[in-house]
Structure 1
Amino acid sequence: MSETSKTVVAATAARRSFLRQAAIAGGVAATGGIAAPAVLAQSPVVLKMQTSWPASDIWMDFAREYVTRVNAMSGGRLTIDLLPAGAVVGAFQVMDAVNDGIIDAAHTVPVYWYG
């Protein structure tokens, strides 16, 4: 086999290897593109957050502002369901309720839990 033939064979093998790798990479990329709409189509995550404040308290207004901002910033992927004191547990039990998994979050102040 002449040197020219060896060069042509080597170039053909390299081209095939490149095309095979490109096809594999394209398949992987296409798989990710197909899965993306499924992720985007998922329903939003809804978190229950109870406060230590009654519905008419100014601290409840602060919590409402926080929830409004988080809901807007998440683009609909996260929704916080804000609950006033006593809706699920008592005002002073919100931290224990979060720890026990009864609610997902609490809006309160740490002064209630000084040890």
Structure 2
Amino acid sequence: MASSSSSLLLASMAVAALFVVGSCGGALTFTIGKDSSSTKLSLVTNVAISEVSVKEKGALDWSDDLKESPAKTFTLDSKEPIKGPISVRFAVKGGGYRVVDDVIPADFKPGSVYQTGEQI
């Protein structure tokens, strides 16, 4: 009877481990969209996030939520040149907000990819 219980417990732990590994989204990255310029910032993410806001260098407040265009693409249109480094605040699927400080450098270029280290 003891080995049957042990086998069941071991099998349950294996299934739980597979579920945890399979549900991890990986590290969040931001790719600068090809249409980005000194007054437009398009951020393409590799995982699903929402309610994205940015804070430019020297700003006291976060921008309004960036507009989400196609899935995982968020855009900020500005009348003034965008000043980096740029911090990003976003909502995660499980709830709550996260902030990544200075993830986009001042000299960002379209097509560049920036790693955040945030596991989503």
Q: Calculate the TM-score normalised by the size of structure 1.
A: 0.34
Q: Which has the larger radius of gyration?
A: 1
Q: TM-score, normalised by structure 2?
A: 0.32
